[in-house]
Structure 1
Amino acid sequence: MTRSLCVLAVLCGALTARAAPPVRPAAAAPPGWQLEWARGAVFYEVFVRSFADSNGDGVGDFNGLTSKLDYLKELGVEGLWLMPIFESPSYHGYDVVNYEKVDSEYGTEEDFDRLLREAHRRGIRIVVDFVINHTGAEHPWFVESAASPDSPRRDWYVWRQDDPGWKQPWGNGPTWHRKGDAYYYGIFWSGMPDLNHRNPEVRAEMKRLASLWLARGVDGFRLDAARHITEKGPGEAQNNTPETHAFWREFSAHVRGVRPDALLVGEVWSTTPEILPYYGSTARLRGGDELPMLFNFPVAEAAVNALETGDPARLATTLAEVTKAYPSGVLDAPFLTNHDQTRVATLLKGDERRLRSAPAVLLTLPGTPFLYYGEEIGLPNGPGEEGDPAKRRPLPWDGSEKGGFTAGKPWKPFVEGWQARNVAAQLADPGSLLHRYRLLIHVRRASPALRLGTLKLLPASKEAPSVVAFLREAEGERVLVVHNVGATPATVLQALPAAPGEALFSDPEVTATAEQGKRGTWRLSVPAYSSAVWRLR
Structure 2
Amino acid sequence: MRPLRGLSLFSAALLSACARSSTPPTVSPPTPGTVTLAAPAGDGWYRGAVFYEVFVRSFQDSNGDGVGDLPGLISRLDYLNDGNPATTDDLGVDALWLMPVFASPSYHGYDVVDYERIQPAYGTLEDMQKLCDEAHRRGMRVIVDFVINHSSSAHPWFVESAASPQSAKRDWYQWRANNPAWKQPWDPAFSQTDTWHERNGAWYYGVFWSGMPDLNMQTVAVREEVKRLATLWLSRGVDGFRLDAARYLIETGGGVGQSDTAETHAFWKEFAAHVRSVKPDAVLVGENWSETPSVAKYYGSTALVPGGDELPINFNFPLSERVLAGINAGNAGGVASKFLEMRNNYPAGVVDAPFLTNHDMVRVATQFSGDTSKLGLAAAVVLTLPGAPFLYYGEEVGLGNGGANNDESKRTPMPWTAATGGGFTTGTPWYGFSSGRETANVETQKAAPGSLLSRYKALLHARQGSEALRTGDMRLFTPTTGPSATLAFVRTVDDEQVLVVHNFSNAQVTAGPFDVEGTAVEPLFTDTGVSTLTGGSGAWKTTVPARGTGIWRVQ
Pick one of 103, 107, 115 that aligns with 1:99.
Answer: 115
Distance 2:109 2:514 in 1: 52
Offset, 1:476: 1.6
Offset, 1:484: 0.5
> Is 1:376 the equivalent of 2:396?
yes
* Mean CA deviation greater in 85-94 or 261-270: 261-270
Aligned in 2, Cα 1:64/1:165: closer, same or farther, shift over 3 Å? same
Q: Which has the greater radius of gyration?
A: 1
For residues 449-482 of structure 1, the C-alpha deviation after alignment (integer angstroms, 9 at most, x for no partner) is: 1101111111449998321111111112111110
Offset, 1:497: 2.8
Q: State the match for 2:252 in structure 1.
A: 232
Q: State the match for 2:45 in structure 1.
A: 37
Distance 1:484 1:267 in 2: 30
Q: State the match for 2:29 in structure 1.
A: none
Distance 2:482 2:151 in 1: 54
Matched ranges for 1:341-352 at <5 A: 341-352=361-372
Offset, 1:205: 0.3
* Mean CA deviation greater in 521-530 or 217-226: 521-530
Secondary structure of the structure 1 residue equivalent to 2:145: strand
Distance 2:73 2:348 in 1: 36
Equivalent residue pairs, number:
504
Aligned in 2, Cα 1:427/1:165: closer, same or farther, shift over 3 Å? same
Offset, 1:322: 1.8
For residues 319-364 of structure 1, the C-alpha deviation after alignment (integer angstroms, 9 at most, x for no partner) is: 2222343223322111111001110101111001111111100011
| CA contact 1:323–1:455 (8 Å) conserved in 2 | no
> Is 1:147 the equivalent of 2:167?
no
Distance 1:255 1:461 in 2: 38
> Is 1:416 the equivalent of 2:440?
no
Matched ranges for 1:377-456 at <5 A: 377-383=397-403, 385-456=404-475
Aligned in 2, Cα 1:191/1:285: closer, same or farther, shift over 3 Å? same
Distance 1:450 1:86 in 2: 35
| CA contact 2:336–2:480 (8 Å) conserved in 1 | no
Q: State the match for 1:70 in structure 2.
A: 78
User: Which consecutive unaligned segments of at least 5 residues does structure 2 have?
Assistant: 3-40, 82-89
Aligned in 2, Cα 1:406/1:474: closer, same or farther, shift over 3 Å? same
Distance 2:214 2:289 in 1: 18
Q: State the match for 1:90 in structure 2.
A: 106
Secondary structure of the structure 2 residue equivalent to 1:473: strand
Q: State the match for 1:61 in structure 2.
A: 69
Q: State the match for 1:526 in structure 2.
A: 544
Offset, 1:219: 0.6
Aligned in 2, Cα 1:182/1:396: closer, same or farther, shift over 3 Å? same
Matched ranges for 1:73-472 at <5 A: 73=81, 74-170=90-186, 171-383=191-403, 385-460=404-479, 465-472=484-491
Offset, 1:420: 2.5
Aligned in 2, Cα 1:357/1:53: closer, same or farther, shift over 3 Å? same
Q: State the match for 1:474 in structure 2.
A: 493
* Mean CA deviation greater in 461-470 or 337-346: 461-470
Q: Which amino acid aligns with 2:409?
A: A
Specify which structure has the bigger relative contact order, considering alpha-carbon pairs within 8 angstroms and separated by 6 or more residues: 2
Offset, 1:514: 3.8
Q: Which amino acid aligns with 2:47?
A: R
Cα-Cα RMSD? 1.8
| CA contact 1:294–1:333 (8 Å) conserved in 2 | yes
Distance 1:242 1:198 in 2: 12
Q: State the match for 2:33 in structure 1.
A: none
| CA contact 1:320–1:457 (8 Å) conserved in 2 | no
Identity of aligned residues (%): 56
Give TM-score, length-normalised by structure 1: 0.91
* Mean CA deviation greater in 194-203 or 272-281: 272-281
| CA contact 1:489–1:527 (8 Å) conserved in 2 | yes
Q: State the match for 2:6 in structure 1.
A: none
User: Which consecutive unaligned segments of at least 5 residues does structure 1 have?
Assistant: 3-32
Aligned in 2, Cα 1:49/1:492: closer, same or farther, shift over 3 Å? same
